[in-house]
Structure 1
Amino acid sequence: MNHLLVPLAIPLATEPGNRTLTISLFTAVVAVTLYITWWASRQNKTAADYYAGGRSFSGAQNGLAVAGDYMSAASFLGISGQIALYGYDGFLYSIGFLVAWLVALLLVAELLRNSGRFTMADQLAFRMKQRPVRTAAATSTIVVSIFYLLAQMVGAGSLVGLLLGVKSEGLKAAVIVLVGALMIVYVTIGGMKGTTWVQIVKAVLLMAGTVVITFLVLLKFNFNLSDLLGSAAAKSGKGEGFLQPGLLYGKDLTGQIDFLSLGLALVLGTAGLPHILIRFYTVPDSRSARRSVQWAIGLIGAFYLMTLALGFGAAALLDTAKGSAVETSKGNVASPLLAEAVGGGAGSTGGAILLALIAAVAFATILAVVAGLTLTSASSFAHDLYANVISKTKPTEKQELRVARFAAIGIGAVAIGLAIPAQKLNIAFLVALAFAVAASANLPALLFNLFWKRFNTSGAVWSIYGGLSSAVVLVVFSPVVSGNGDKSMITGADFHWFPLSNPGIVSIPLGFLFGVLGTYLGRDKSSETRYSELSVRALTGAGAEGAAKH
């Protein structure tokens, strides 16, 4: 297999023909997605069109879009990279991301669709005081979305850096700025309709590309999974330990607790991700919302099973030693380089074509997800903060949508600024942090509101701010930011005191605890009077269209 090893110097960057092919495919992807966005923008007439796509998508269409939104750069680039570098422990990300959908299906999807209108805050504000709850929910939505956006931006920088031979941090930063500008265009012009269709197209392309690479990897090993795993273990230099727990987590007690924290964040985080939650408002009824999740689970389940072939295939066929392209990118370029290897190897025409195709698909993945995240944040700012908190008079739909578009520009700028110093982190790891923040801040409030009659405004505000602040503070003072050498965002500094890389095991229980404390310490009992109405609405969907108008 030695002829399949990928050297550190990427030949593609120095071959004009290959570079032309790559740029042409990238340009085609951007052109197609921009056309879809422009086409969809002509159908945006009302706020419901911009925020929820006119509730016109079927369960199957929305399921594809949900899968497209969820199978982000973290899944396609980050997880395969973690498996290539850390074997069994890397595959834990795939398991966590998949199992999380059961929580979303059983506890959130249908009930949220029935009891809300445009944003997560609509469901909370139905029986709470509008201003404090909407402010808290919008703040949480924007923070979680920015965490998630960081991962996509870092993925874009790694991907384009690989394909065009860009090694300097400055040029990678320019790529991040370009992706940020594109996502702002998608959101400001297309709204939810444009974003949804881009995500549907991207989901089809990503599944097709992953199937092709999986087939070619298995073909190399005569469809013998045991041979694939054995070769990956031998080539990794870590032997049987590569296929057993403990390479990344579990070396000591802190590592074991960190693993539990990661698992908790992944399993509970999906049900609190704002950009996933608002997808349930794009379908006409609760049955379609439920069907959306069923479609999404099928697609996502198949995809995460194939990450086994991507990750272990990369370990078996690529150079993952210290100083290699895979290792220096923290695994973020493992999937594109694997495509090059199974297509014929570095320097071959087949390898160059397959690398360019897979990279274009990955780039489409990034564009679709960042558009969804930015739209979620902008919608929450305009609909929750501006329309219901900041504005003294009820704004018109036109005014609200104008604010949403300006908010998209501001949020995009913040994400760009934060992504540049985060380029050295694995993107699956970055997304896991977003999951932890979402599970800490959003999930407790959503579940309490649906299932606890006594839950009130104070409880909702305490839960969201308490979970959000504890998660963010713990991340800031963790080895992710400082104290872990060149693996931290800030090198040459050490102000960390929290030992875990993922705060979920501490911040998620704190989110629930703050909700309980706020409820019992607060004296507002008016929320109890509308609990029965919310329960009926959540279970039956009766009057769901007007849920947020009260």
Structure 2
Amino acid sequence: MKTFASPVLALAALAASPLALAAGGDVGQAAKQQTNWIAIIMFAVFVAATLYITKWAAGRTKSAADFYTAGGGITGFQNGLAIAGDYMSAASFLGISAAVMVNGYDGLIYSIGFLVGWPIITFLMADRLRNLGKFTFADVAGYRFRNGPIRAFAASGTLVVVAFYLIAQMVGAGQLIKLLFGLEYWMAVVLVGVLMMIYVVFGGMTATTWVQIIKAVLLLSGVTFMAFMVLSKYGFSPEALFADGVRVRTEIAANSGKTPEEAAKAGLSIMGPGGFIKDPISAISFGMALMFGTAGLPHILMRFFTVPNAKEARKSVGWASVWIGYFYILIFIIGFGAITLVLTNPEMADTAKGVILGGAGTANMAAVLVAKSVGGDVFYGFISAVAFATILAVVAGLTLSGASAVSHDLYATVLKDGKADSASELKVSRITTLTLGVVAVILGIAFERQNVAFMVSLAFAIAASANFPALIMSILWKNCTTRGAVIGGFLGLISSVGLTIVSPSVWEATLGNPAGSALFPYSSPALFSMTIGFIGVWFFSITDNSERAKVDRAGFPAQQIRSETGLGASGASGH
């Protein structure tokens, strides 16, 4: 895309993934801004409120069930908001709006990709997850399989996804605070780590859920106001907004030395596709990662065990889809608002130039600068605090899913053979949370100047390639066996990580190897690694003639009855 001339090509390439922008990209070079006291005060209010909630939740967290799933006492509406809060990460709020600002229409492909995963969860998984599971998705995948191997795989997949997601979020948090609040990078990372550990260690899922609900309400309120103010300047006509966006981009192109014909073409290009995806295979592979990765993210799947029954699980997905869909529509408007309001505002001339030419770190400022343009310093401070709260809530959810993988799947079920008492399991959960928090802080500081964009993309690709095939095949295919699910799952896990490492986005961009030397030509491995995962589950199941395989297959009818009816599940069936 040539709209902004050559200096923006690098940013346009980065904006090809809002995940990249949220993760911070190569954001170590972003300059520290003047301290924003309004943002700090609003952030302090948010932290004080959530710490009070944590204190309240700590009094209700007595057992492992309370810690992992809030005792199953969250309603479908509340859980839908919490899922939306988990899903509306900085990748969505900051990344997609910046992608729309740079590339226009093409930024919408990410909104659609993220959203399309929800029908899969709604129609194939929500009921079955709630009816079969207890605390983690490994409970579902291993319902009729041998505990040790399947939980070892599930915990491995969970921890790898959580690790890549956590590092990216920690780096994103550090850079956002460095940009918005004026604090040092390492201070911001430590602050996020400490708060996250407090929420999870003391409040468990109850505190994490309410932090996510509050954050979702704040974020939805903020983007609603921003979109309303943007559209109000155009008589609430999206057509007028888009036309003005084309005009602004045409003028910028003309001022960069293009001929009138080239400038007009560059301006109109923001209303058409073609800026991100260069070939059909890349488009399909990246789309598969977004769609099926959603159905394999452990911190999202874990939320279905917080409701009392399958009916509430379905309601959760319905409400989450409503809020997430609404949010993404508004983000598209805000992205165009960044073009028409920020880039043309004389008072923001220097900052706007930094957004467009300053690289990944400052590109994250697009949505925040729209907030300043439509609401002044007070609203700017509010959105800054919400952006930080967004990362904080997602980090808490990720940490809880990682802690549950270690304490419930590995310690209680594998090491103790299901005989661990609730108190010892809870203790292991909290120790794991503290460990994950320390590791996340150390890695967040260590990766400050690295391009960690691929880590979030890899998290989706791993979830789609490893967790999703093993999970969906164990639920729906009667001939699936322990050997098939474990080997196929590990094949998907290893291939997705391996192919990403030898792809251009890592091999060349991150590791510094010469252009064209990447062994795998596509940026997303999902099309290939997900296929490997499914074929592995199928092949190693049909060739499994062991005595264990007979037990696995014989257990399918009972699993099917429980998954469809909820008979025997904890709580009411919902039917």
Normalising by structure 2, report the TM-score: 0.85
The superposition leaves residues 104-139 of structure 1 with CA deviations (integer Å, 9 ceiling, x where unpaired) of 101111111101111111112210000000010011
Within 5 Å, which residues of 2 pair with 1:439-478? 439-478=464-503
Judged with a 3 Å threshold, the aligned counterparts in structure 2 of structure 1 residues 419 and 502 are, in CA distance, closer, same or farther, namely farther
For 2:401, the aligned partner's letter is T
Q: Does 1:336 align with 2:361?
A: no
Provide the rounded CA distance (Å) in 1 between the counterparts of 2:221 and 2:566: 36
Provide the rounded CA distance (Å) in 1 between the counterparts of 2:386 and 2:484: 43
For residue 184 of structure 1, give the secondary structure of its aligned residue in structure 2. Answer: helix
Provide the rounded CA distance (Å) in 1 between the counterparts of 2:382 and 2:224: 13
Provide the rounded CA distance (Å) in 2 between the counterparts of 1:87 and 1:65: 29
Provide the rounded CA distance (Å) in 2 between the counterparts of 1:515 and 1:321: 51
Q: Does 1:213 align with 2:226?
A: yes
Q: Does 1:479 align with 2:504?
A: yes
Deviation at 1:325, TM superposition (A): 6.8
Deviation at 1:11, TM superposition (A): 12
Match for 1:130 among 132, 147, 154? 147
Judged with a 3 Å threshold, the aligned counterparts in structure 2 of structure 1 residues 413 and 501 are, in CA distance, closer, same or farther, namely farther
Say whether the 8 Å CA contact 2:337–2:370 is kept in structure 1.
Answer: yes
Provide the rounded CA distance (Å) in 2 between the counterparts of 1:67 and 1:268: 17
Match for 2:158 among 115, 135, 141? 141
Q: Does 1:515 align with 2:537?
A: yes
Match for 1:543 among 568, 571, 574? 568
**2:435 aligns to what?**
410
For residue 87 of structure 1, give the secondary structure of its aligned residue in structure 2. Answer: helix
For 1:92, the aligned partner's letter is I
Match for 2:197 among 184, 208, 219? 184
Q: Does 1:195 align with 2:220?
A: no
Provide the rounded CA distance (Å) in 2 between the counterparts of 1:423 and 1:401: 36
Judged with a 3 Å threshold, the aligned counterparts in structure 2 of structure 1 residues 325 and 215 are, in CA distance, closer, same or farther, namely farther
**2:60 aligns to what?**
43
Match for 2:267 among 239, 242, 248? 239
**2:333 aligns to what?**
309
Provide the rounded CA distance (Å) in 1 between the counterparts of 2:521 and 2:192: 33
The superposition leaves residues 22-57 of structure 1 with CA deviations (integer Å, 9 ceiling, x where unpaired) of 211111111111111111011011111111101111
**2:300 aligns to what?**
276
**2:285 aligns to what?**
261
Match for 2:389 among 348, 364, 370? 364
**1:5 aligns to what?**
none
Deviation at 1:214, TM superposition (A): 0.6
Deviation at 1:322, TM superposition (A): 7.3
Provide the rounded CA distance (Å) in 2 between the counterparts of 1:154 and 1:257: 30
The superposition leaves residues 447-495 of structure 1 with CA deviations (integer Å, 9 ceiling, x where unpaired) of 11111111000111012211111111112222332313xxx3x457777
Count of residue pairs the alignment pairs up? 516
Say whether the 8 Å CA contact 1:117–1:546 is kept in structure 2.
Answer: no
For residue 567 of structure 2, give the secondary structure of its aligned residue in structure 1. Answer: coil
Query: Which deviates more from structure 2 when the two are superposed, residues 411-420 or residues 522-531?
Result: 411-420
Provide the rounded CA distance (Å) in 2 between the counterparts of 1:234 and 1:177: 44
Query: Which deviates more from structure 2 when the two are superposed, residues 121-130 or residues 314-323?
Result: 314-323
**1:33 aligns to what?**
50
Say whether the 8 Å CA contact 2:31–2:179 is kept in structure 1.
Answer: no
Deviation at 1:508, TM superposition (A): 1.2
The superposition leaves residues 227-248 of structure 1 with CA deviations (integer Å, 9 ceiling, x where unpaired) of 2223333434431122211112
For residue 82 of structure 2, give the secondary structure of its aligned residue in structure 1. Answer: helix
Provide the rounded CA distance (Å) in 2 between the counterparts of 1:439 and 1:392: 29
For 2:377, the aligned partner's letter is A
**2:263 aligns to what?**
none
Provide the rounded CA distance (Å) in 1 between the counterparts of 2:451 and 2:337: 22
For 1:179, the aligned partner's letter is V
Provide the rounded CA distance (Å) in 1 between the counterparts of 2:132 and 2:449: 39
Match for 2:92 among 56, 62, 75? 75
Judged with a 3 Å threshold, the aligned counterparts in structure 2 of structure 1 residues 353 and 330 are, in CA distance, closer, same or farther, namely closer
**1:500 aligns to what?**
522
For 2:95, the aligned partner's letter is G
Runs (5+) with no aligned partner, structure 2: 1-29, 254-265, 344-351
Say whether the 8 Å CA contact 1:73–1:365 is kept in structure 2.
Answer: yes
For residue 44 of structure 1, give the secondary structure of its aligned residue in structure 2. Answer: coil
Deviation at 1:401, TM superposition (A): 0.9
Judged with a 3 Å threshold, the aligned counterparts in structure 2 of structure 1 residues 263 and 330 are, in CA distance, closer, same or farther, namely farther
For 1:204, the aligned partner's letter is V
Match for 1:400 among 425, 428, 435? 425
**2:176 aligns to what?**
159
Q: Does 1:294 align with 2:318?
A: yes
Give the root-mean-square deviation of aligned CA atoms: 2.4
Within 5 Å, which residues of 2 pair with 1:90-101? 90-101=107-118
Deviation at 1:148, TM superposition (A): 2.1
Deviation at 1:93, TM superposition (A): 0.6
Say whether the 8 Å CA contact 1:77–1:155 is kept in structure 2.
Answer: no
Provide the rounded CA distance (Å) in 2 between the counterparts of 1:542 and 1:393: 22
Judged with a 3 Å threshold, the aligned counterparts in structure 2 of structure 1 residues 200 and 326 are, in CA distance, closer, same or farther, namely farther
Judged with a 3 Å threshold, the aligned counterparts in structure 2 of structure 1 residues 328 and 280 are, in CA distance, closer, same or farther, namely closer
Deviation at 1:426, TM superposition (A): 8.1
Provide the rounded CA distance (Å) in 2 between the counterparts of 1:103 and 1:231: 37
Deviation at 1:301, TM superposition (A): 0.9
Deviation at 1:333, TM superposition (A): 2.1
Judged with a 3 Å threshold, the aligned counterparts in structure 2 of structure 1 residues 33 and 518 are, in CA distance, closer, same or farther, namely same
For 2:293, the aligned partner's letter is G
Say whether the 8 Å CA contact 2:355–2:365 is kept in structure 1.
Answer: no
Say whether the 8 Å CA contact 2:32–2:178 is kept in structure 1.
Answer: no
Deviation at 1:422, TM superposition (A): 6.3
Within 5 Å, which residues of 2 pair with 1:344-383? 351-383=376-408
Say whether the 8 Å CA contact 1:148–1:434 is kept in structure 2.
Answer: yes
Q: Does 1:52 align with 2:69?
A: yes
Provide the rounded CA distance (Å) in 2 between the counterparts of 1:321 and 1:20: 24
**2:7 aligns to what?**
none
Match for 2:276 among 226, 233, 248? 248
Deviation at 1:75, TM superposition (A): 1.0
Provide the rounded CA distance (Å) in 1 between the counterparts of 2:176 and 2:246: 26
Judged with a 3 Å threshold, the aligned counterparts in structure 2 of structure 1 residues 284 and 392 are, in CA distance, closer, same or farther, namely closer
Judged with a 3 Å threshold, the aligned counterparts in structure 2 of structure 1 residues 203 and 322 are, in CA distance, closer, same or farther, namely closer
For 2:269, the aligned partner's letter is G
Provide the rounded CA distance (Å) in 2 between the counterparts of 1:44 and 1:107: 31
Runs (5+) with no aligned partner, structure 1: 1-9, 344-350
Deviation at 1:327, TM superposition (A): 3.8
For residue 363 of structure 2, give the secondary structure of its aligned residue in structure 1. Answer: coil
Provide the rounded CA distance (Å) in 2 between the counterparts of 1:387 and 1:160: 38
Provide the rounded CA distance (Å) in 2 between the counterparts of 1:280 and 1:176: 30
Query: Which deviates more from structure 2 when the two are superposed, residues 257-266 or residues 129-138?
Result: 257-266
Deviation at 1:393, TM superposition (A): 8.0
